[in-house]
Chains A and B, each alone.
Chain A
């Protein structure tokens, strides 16, 4: 039975402590920045707007630098997180990573059996979607 309470701690019941919620938001902002940079770089490179040479490489590498900052913010979030939140993240990552690898390897066999050929990014998508879904499911389990 869940006790209802009021205040900042109750508000944060799904996000861990208020500090966890702040770190999670910071991570989300970095992820959005990375996604925006990735889309922008793709459009620039595909559109032939960037002059050939060093500029092309700068545009291609820039999103990954933002991605590194996103990884760093996630590590900061996990390191400082409430221990239950850390547990939820660990289990979610295990599901996400496992599903991604399984899909990537398993689908190679399905392709040989006649399934349509998929892009390498599809395995990464499975990884991220399962990681996100597992967070929701596991958080609910501990509620």
Chain B
């Protein structure tokens, strides 16, 4: 899965720590998501969606995940 987290965060002038504070997670988690090393859980994806005021699909795009798993398409 790829994401636009870094761009969206930069647009708002937030640091990773700021975003982590908004989400209630660690900065390490935000960094791991941004670098594509970790795919967030669905609840966290919804929190990201709420924080940025965007639908989830505007933040994340399906693709090969960090575990090398390619999601099935309908």
Interface residues of A (CB under 8 A from B): 1-3, 5-7, 9-10, 12-17, 20, 82-85, 87, 141-143
Contacts and interface: CB of A to CB of B under 8 A. Distances in A.
B59 to A, nearest CB: 17
Contacts of A143: 28, 31-32
Given A83-B44, A87-B38, A142-B37, A5 B25 contact: no
Contacts of A13: 26-28, 31
B26 A5 contact: no
A5 B15 contact: yes
A84 B29 contact: yes
A9 B29 CA distance: 11
Q: Is the interface of A mostly helix, strand, loop or mixed?
A: loop
A17 B17 contact: no
A20 B27 CA distance: 13
Interface residues of B, number: 19
B22 to A, nearest CB: 11
B62 to A, nearest CB: 20
B28 A20 contact: no
B31 A9 contact: no
A53 B37 CA distance: 57
B13 to A, nearest CB: 13
Interface string B22-49: 0011111101100101101100100000
B20 interface: yes
Contacts of A1: 35
Given A17-B24, A142-B37, A142-B38, A82 B16 contact: no
